[in-house]
Amino acid sequence: MQLLFKKRRVYLNLIIGITWVLLVLSKFIIKESINWFDFAMLVLALYYFTQYYFNYKFQYLTITDKEIVKQRIIYKKTIPIKKVRRFYRNKTGDYVIEGSKKKIKINPLEVQPESLIKFKHFTSRLKVAKDIF
């Protein structure tokens, strides 16, 4: 099972990356000199394209039979399902899965509502302490 990012968030990264590239290309069209700021815009475009690809490919959270994985570009948090101790919702409204050593926070505003319903059904089957408001 996967918790999917909202499509708006994923495609917004793509649109921002394209915008940065178009701004740099416009400098070539009007034949202005290229400076350090243009290179910074290309780096930003590369960042947003990478963010788009990574979010599109890996999504927000992946739950397998053995583990719960939250992947980001730089790091990856993994909690084995057998080591999940508690599942709760914090004061800011995030869902938190607490393992023996790690915590994974899930922001419901970044996740598609259909995926969130499936996730809630999954957590209702977990035999751990739950503090959901």
Q: Is pLDDT above 60 for 34?
A: yes
Q: Is pLDDT above 60 for 124?
A: yes
pLDDT of residue 131: 67
Convert 22-48 into a string of H (helix), E (strand) and C (coil).
HHHHHHHHCCCCCCHHHHHHHHHHHHH
pTM: 0.77
Distance between first and last Cα of the chain: 24
* Residue-wise pLDDT tens digits, 70-114: 988 888 899 998 888 888 888 898 999 998 889 999 999 999 999
